[in-house]
Amino acid sequence: MSATLLRRTAVDGLTGAGAHAESDSVFDGLDWKLAGARPRGLPHSAFQLLNHIGYWQDWAVAWLDGEDPATPRHAAGSWPGAAAPASAAEWKTSLRRYKAGSTALARRARQGDPLAKRGGKTRYEMLRTIGAHNSYHAGQAALVRRLLGAWPPPSGGLTW
């Protein structure tokens, strides 16, 4: 498989291209007060999902940059912050962080040798892993929004 194809596949996996609504748009247009709501029976609010995805995006960017980011001792360590934003400003800050991380990951997916190894993983494997992680939680966020009556996002999303 060519490096170009691996890079393109990694970027598509990070964005959800061809599989579901763009990962970057899943949180768009969601009111900050609804972002903290947790529908009955669901474990997380959209705000918690946003911050969790952002945490691991930042972690993966650091790893791809050659750093050795600390891995939390327990899963709870990768769910930062409260269940709900305290203000519209806090919601916007979290959205900006999430989108900056997404952009940084896509940039790194287009750079370097996708088969270069760090420890036991290649860059491509790390990008594939974080892309799958983002897709999983973007789907949860879409479900939260649907149950709150706040789907689709302004870009339309996939509703069929």
Domain ranges of the chain: 45-66+82-151
Q: Is-contact 49 140, C-beta < 8 A? A: yes
The pair phi, psi for residue 16, each rounded to 5°, is 85, 5
Each residue's pLDDT, cut to its tens digit, for the chain (160 residues) gives 687 777 676 666 666 666 566 677 899 999 999 999 999 999 999 999 999 999 999 999 999 999 999 999 999 999 998 999 999 999 999 999 999 999 999 999 888 898 999 889 999 999 999 999 999 999 999 999 999 999 988 887 665 5
Q: Is-contact 131 14, C-beta < 8 A? A: yes
Instruction: Decide: helix, strand or coil at residue 117.
Output: strand
CA within 13 Å, CB half, 17: 9
- E strand or H helix at 118: strand 117-118
Q: What is the DSSP letter of 78?
A: G
Residue-by-residue DSSP string for 23-63: GGGTTTT--HHHHT---TT-S--HHHHHHHHHHHHHHHHHH
- Map tokens 């600390």 to a residue: 70
pTM of the model: 0.90
Instruction: Decide: helix, strand or coil at residue 115.
Output: coil
Q: What is the DSSP letter of 16?
A: T
Peptide bond into 69 cis (omega under 30): no
